[in-house]
Amino acid sequence: MASQCFVRPTFDNPFLNIEELPGLRVAATAYKELEPVKIKGLILHQPYFSGKNRTKSEEKLKDDQLLPLHAIDKMFDLSLPKGTLDHDHEYSNPFLNGGSKHVDDMVARGWAVLVTGVSEDPLVDNAHNFANFMEEKGIKTFKLFGDGYHAIEGFEPSKAAALIGATKDFICATKN
């Protein structure tokens, strides 16, 4: 009997984008080698994506107390491969060049995606865009977007409970 798993990278900083994205690539393409583990989907909680072109939420919240734009930029500057000229790199901008070719692998494997975000997070527009992008590519996409700020679930128990509930619902809805 195959074990059903869900990949939940911790996208709280771009260093983890670089660590996790190759892992997702392997999971999407080397699925036979992973048996009996069967990956059913991804849980992307407040994904840390950005690019050269600023979104409205990045502009509006550029001076955010928890996650200001200059900190987002500095984190990408420190984490992207040496010689990267801007933030339009596959590790930081999942929409670059029409998106990863591994999205087709995700569709073929029947993966689903849960994407979460909050209204006062500078990265929320990219989270919305990513969820829509996944839907357009044919991936069953679940969304949890609400009010709050980046990392609110670490400070407000009711938001943590909502995230846990949405994650549980996602996992239960994608089992089989």
**Per residue in 98-117, pLDDT tens?**
887 778 888 888 889 999 99
Handedness of CA 139, 106, 7, 132 (dihedral sign): negative
Answer for the pair 122, 59: CB distance below 8 angstroms, yes or no: no
Q: Please state, rounded to an integer, the average pLDDT across all residues of the chain.
A: 85
Answer for the pair 118, 145: CB distance below 8 angstroms, yes or no: yes
What pLDDT does residue 142 have? 97
User: 135 by DSSP, 3-state: which?
Assistant: helix
Q: Cα–Cα distance between 22 and 43 in angstroms, integer?
A: 16
Confidence of residue 160 (pLDDT cuts 50, 70, 90): very high
Q: Cα–Cα distance between 23 and 17 in angstroms, integer?
A: 10
Answer for the pair 166, 114: CB distance below 8 angstroms, yes or no: yes
> Residues of 139-155 as b/e, b for ≥16 C-beta within 10 angstroms?
bbbbbbeeebbbbbbee
What pLDDT does residue 38 have? 82
What pTM was computed for the model? 0.87
**Per residue in 119-156, pLDDT tens?**
999 999 999 999 999 999 999 999 999 999 999 999 99
What pLDDT does residue 17 have? 56
The two beta strands, 112-120 and 37-45, are parallel
Residue 75 predicted with pLDDT over 90: no
Share of the chain above pLDDT 70, in %: 86
- Chain centroid to CA 7: 11
Domains and CATH numbers, the chain: 3-173 (3.40.50.1820)
Answer for the pair 48, 118: CB distance below 8 angstroms, yes or no: no
